[in-house]
Structure 1
C-alpha cells in the first residue's frame, strides 16, 4: 500500500487508480481511519478514489501535535504529491471540517465538496471529551447509541468499533478537541464556499443533526442536500448504497461533460 511524505513522516493512503488525474479524496472523522471508506472506494466513476489515514491514525506515522492546520496541510500535500488535476474532497464529521478548511485555504485547487454528517461549527459534548480523558472503554460503549440509527445492523456497529478501538485515546481526544473549536459559521454565512457542494446527512444523526446540513444547503448557493432515512452519523457505512448513489449522481451531474 502506498505512502507519501508529509513533514518528513509517512502518511498512508488507499487508492483505486484510473487513467486520468482527477480525484475524489475521502477524509475520515475523529478517531477513525481510511478503512471507513471501504464501500465508497468501490464507486464506479472515472476518478482516482483516494482515502488517507490522517497523521497519527492507523498506518500513518505519529505526530507530536495534531491541529486542524496540520490535517489540512496533510491533505494539501497529498494533492500536490500525486499531481492531481480536478479534485473533489469528501469529508465525514471532522473530515468535513478539514475539507471546508482546505477549500477556503486553496479555492483554486478544489473543484467540489462532499460534506457528510458535518457542520460549519462542531461543538462536542463535555461528556465525550471527559470519557476520552478518563475512561476510553466508556467512550467506546457510548458510540452505538450516539453514532448509529437504532436499527442499524449489529455487525456494522461491531466492525466500526473494532476500527476505532485501535486509535489511541489521546489521538481521538485531539480530534474531538479540534472539532470543538472548529467554527466557519461566518465564512459559510458569507457565501465563501462557491463551488458545487453535496451535503449528505442521516436523518437520525444525533451528533451532527440534520439542521447542520440544512444550514449548508441554505448558505451555499451551489449546494444540494441528500437526507438519508434510517441512518445516523455513520451514514456512509449504515447506508452505503444510498450514499454512493448520491455521490455518483452529484459527480455525473456537476462535473462530467454533457
Structure 2
C-alpha cells in the first residue's frame, strides 16, 4: 500500500486524525508522527522553527524507508509538507494542505504570537487550556512561547515565499470559508503560483481540525487522490 503521512498543526496532536484513520487505512499505510514539543515529545533545546520540523519529517521518511509519499498537512503541517517538497521533490507523490497560512509578515507574526499567552488562555479560554494540557502535559505553557517564536521566525524568513514555482508535484490547497486565521485570498494566491495545483474552499468550515466535518474532507481527499 502507498504511504500517507498526516501532519498536525502547531499546538495540535496526531490524535485529531483518529476520525479519518478507518477510511484512509483502506487505501494507505497511514503515518501520524508528532512534531517535537507536542504530545509527550520534548521541546528541543535549540527551539522550534519550520526548518527544524522539515528536518524531522525528512528523518522520519528516511528511518521508515518511505518513498513516493502522499502528504496531508493541517495548518503548520501543510507548510512543513511544502517545505519538505521543495527539498525532496523526488520523494513525494502529492500534497493536500488544509488551513495553512502562507501570508506571513513580521507584523502578522507578532500579532498572532501575542495571542499565545498561557495566562491569558487560562483566564479567557480555560477549555482550550484543558485541551492543551491533556494533549501536551504540563509543558503546554512552555510550548506556547516556543510556537510564538516559530511564528516570528516565519514572519522574518518565510521559506516558501518566492519559491512556490519550484514545487512541481500535484498539490491541493484547501481552506475553510469560515477560517479566521487563513484567508481565501492568500490560499488562492498560492494556488495560482503553484505549477500543478487545485484549490478547494470547504463550506461552513472553521480553522480548527476538530471543527472540520470528516465526511466532507474525506470526499475531497478521495477526489484529489482518485480513491474509489
In the superposition, the TM-score normalised over structure 2's length comes to 0.83
The count of aligned residue pairs is 216
Name the CA shift for 1:163/1:187 in 2 (closer, same or farther; >3 Å). same
Aligned counterparts, 1:79-228, within 5 A: 79-123=61-105, 124=108, 126-133=110-117, 135-137=119-121, 141=125, 162-166=130-134, 167=136, 168-182=140-154, 183=158, 184-188=160-164, 191-228=165-202
Offset, 1:118: 0.8
Measure the CA separation in 1 of the matches of 2:110 and 2:17: 28
Partner of residue 72 from structure 1, selected from 44, 54, 57: 54
Partner of residue 212 from structure 2, selected from 217, 229, 238: 238
Worse overlay, 130-139 or 97-106:
130-139
Residue equivalent to 1:37? 17
In the superposition, the TM-score normalised over structure 1's length comes to 0.74
Measure the CA separation in 1 of the matches of 2:124 and 2:109: 15
Kindly indicate whether residue 35 of structure 2 is the aligned counterpart of residue 49 of structure 1. Answer: no
Measure the CA separation in 1 of the matches of 2:132 and 2:69: 28
Gaps of 5+ in 1: 1-19, 143-157
Q: Secondary structure at the match of 1:230?
A: coil
- CA-to-aligned-CA distance 1:27-82 (integer Å, 9 cap, x gap): 11111111121122233442111111111111323421222222111111111111
Measure the CA separation in 2 of the matches of 1:239 and 1:162: 23
- Kept in 2: contact 1:26–1:90 (CA 8 A): yes
Gaps of 5+ in 2: none
Root mean square deviation of aligned Cα: 2.5
Name the CA shift for 1:70/1:125 in 2 (closer, same or farther; >3 Å). closer
